[in-house]
Chains A and B, each alone.
Chain A
Amino acid sequence: MSQVTVMERTPHIAKPFVASAAPAASDGSRIGFENVSVTYGALTVLHSFTLTVNPGEIVALIGPSGSGKTTALRAVAGFVRPSGGRILIGDRDVTHLAPYDRKIGMVVQNYALFPHMRVEENVAFGLRAHGAAEDVIKKRVPECLAMVGMSTYAKRYPRELSGGQQQRVAIARALAPKPQVLLLDEPLSALDAQIRRSMLDELAKLHRDLPNLTVLYVTHDQSEALTLANHIGIMRDGKLKAFGGSQSLFRHPPNRFAAEFLGRANLLPVTDVQPLDEQMAKVRFGDVTLSARNHHGLARGSDCLVCVRPHDFRFSRASEPNSISGTVLSVQWQGDVHNITFDAGGETVRMTSAPMANPPRIGEIIAVHFDAAEVTLVPEDASHG
C-alpha cells in the first residue's frame, strides 16, 4: 500500500503527516513532486515542494493568491520549468519532457476552448493531435460529449455556449485522449455560484464514473476542495503548510494557518495543556477550564490554541462543561443561519446557529459550549504573522 506522505515544515511538528490512501488504479497515473523548486530570477515561488497524488485520487491544492498552487500544477503540465527537484507521472520522470509528451489533460479557469472550432472539433483535437484514426475519433467524441451531457451541442461554436457549457466541453476535450492525469486549474472560478454548485456535483459524478483518473485540483475555494478531494494540501508562500485527508484536515488542522484557511476556525489562545489520556487534554482559557482533543500530542504545560468551528458552538448555561461566555458584538441573519460574533475574554469569537425567532441582542451576555470531541488543540504557528 502506498501512502501520501508529506513532511510538515512548521517548527512545532516533528512527525510527518501520513494519510493513507489505497491506490485504486495502476501506478502509471501517480503524480509525484520530489523537492520541486521554481524560481523566477531571485524570486522563489515554490520551495522544495514534495507531494504524491496516488492513482485514482483527487488532491486539491488550496491557498491564498501567490501561494504557489497554480505554479505547482503548471509544473506538472510542463509550462513551468523547475529549478530543482523532479516531477513524476507514474514512474516516468517528466521534469524535462515537453507538455505534449506528458499525456495529461488540463482544464483552466477561462475554459480556453478553441473559438474557431465547433464543440466536436474541440473535443476531437487531442485525439487528432495524437494521430488517432478517424473511426476512433467518431466513436470517442460522442462518448465524451455524452459523459458531460453536451451531446446536443456538438455542432455549436464555443461562443454559442454558456460558461457552464463551455467548461463541460473543456472537460470532455481534456478527457477525450484518455489522459493518465487530469489537472484542473480553478475550473469553476469563472462560473456563477449556482452553476458552480451543479458543476461541482458533476465533477464528483465524473470521478465516480472514472475512478482510475488521478486529479490534481487547484482552487482557492475551500468548499470545492472539501466537496471533491480525497486529500487537501494547503499552501502558503510556495510551501505546503498542511496536507491530509479532507475530513481529518478540517477537524484536526495541524497549525494555525490551516485552521484559519480551511473553515475560518475560531482559535482561542489557551494555556497549561494537561493531557488526560492519549486523546484528550485540559487547558485554561482565562479562568475557565476547557477540554479538547490533543490530536497533535502537545506537551504538558505548553501554551497553544483551541480550534473551534463556528458551527460547533451551542447556546448553554454557564455551568455546563466547556462553556464560555461573552458579550454579543454582532448578529447577522443570512436566511438559513444566524451569524453571531461575541467577545469572550478579549477574543472575538464567531458562531453560527440555526435561524432563531429571538436571536440575542447586541451587548447581551451569552453562554455557549462545545463538545470536547469536536474541537482540537492546535500548536501556535511561529511563522504566522
Chain B
Amino acid sequence: MGILFIILAFFAYTLEKEHLITTEIQTMNSYLTQLEEELKNHHLHYSKEIVIDTKGYQLGLYDIDRHPILTQLHASFLWNTSLSHEGDKVYASHTLSTYFLGVATIIVSKKIDTTPIVIRLATLLIPLFLLMAIVGWILSRIAFKPALTAFETIDTFIKHATHDLNTPIAAILSNARILEEKISEVSLHRFVQRISIGAKTLTGLYEDLVYLNFQCDSPTPRTEEISPLIHEQLGLLDTLIAYKELSVTTALSQTKLTIVADDFRRLLNNLITNAIKYNTPKGSIFITLEKNFLSIKDSGIGLSDREKEKIYERYWRGESFETGLGIGMEIIVRVCKSYTLTLEINSTKNHGSEFTIRWPQSLIVPF
C-alpha cells in the first residue's frame, strides 16, 4: 500500500508541476509581448535611458547573431526550441519581427517553486494514507481474528493445563509402580505397563511445556559427561522401547561438555523420543557419541522433503498416530540455538532418519 501511495504521490506531483510550468510559461509569454511593445516605444522615441522592469524574471536581450546585448541569464539556453524547462527553471523566448533597439530575441527565465505543491500533496495524501492504514489494520484484524483466537486459545489452554498436570501425573506414576509390584498375575502387567508409558509420556510433555512457556533463568553451565545423560534417558524411555520391541545400539565415547545438564536432558529426551515414536515396530536405533557430535539414527518412517521443512513449525506432527503436541522440534532448536549447536537432518521417506548434533570447540572440556 505504501508503494502504491508513493507512485500516486509521484504522478500527482508530476501533473501538478506540469500544470505549474504551463501556467508560468503563459504568464511569461504575456510579459514578452508586453516587453516587445515597450522596446518599440523606446526605439521610436530614441530614449536616452531605457529602464526595463524584469518583474522578477531573469531576462536576456540578444541580437540577431545571438550575442547578448544585456542579460541576466547564465544557463545555456536551448536555442532550437521556443519553450523549454530545465530542472526547476522555466524558459520562454520571443523572436522579434522588427529589431527594435537591435534586439532580435528576448529570453526570460524563472525558477519555479514546487514547495506549495509538495505541501498541498502532503496535506492531502498523508491523512489519506493514515486513514487507509488504519482501515487496513482494522480489516486485517477482523479477517485474522478466528485464526488469532484459535492460537490464543491453544496457548492459554496449554499454560493453564501445565500448572495442573504435575500432581496427577506423579500420582499415576507412583501408583502404577506400586501396582506393578503388587500384581502377581503376569497377564495384567501389560496393562500396568501401558499406564506407566502413558504417564511417562505425559511427564515428558509436561516438562517440555514448562520449558517453553515458563522458562526461568538458566543455571550456570557446568562440566557434564554426556554418555551418562544418554543412558539416563534410555532408562527413562525403556518402557516405550520395550513396548515397541526396538533394538538400541550405542557407541558412546567419553565426552565432556560445559552445559546445563537439564537442557541436554531435554534435548536428548526429545531426540530419542522422536526416534522411538516415529520408528516401526521391532525397528532399530543407533546412538553414536563422538568428541564433536552426537548422532541418533532410526529405521523409522523417515521424512519427505516437504516434511523436513515443516518439522520446525510449532504444533506440527508427522504422519503418525503417536501422541505429542508437536513441540519437540521447537525445544531441540531452542537448545541448539542457546549453545550454538548445529543440527543436521538426513532422512529418507520410509527408510529412517538421522539427527546429528554438532557442538562448537568452546563447549568441549578436554580430558
Are A and B co-members of a single complex?
no
Interface residues of B (CB under 8 A from A): none
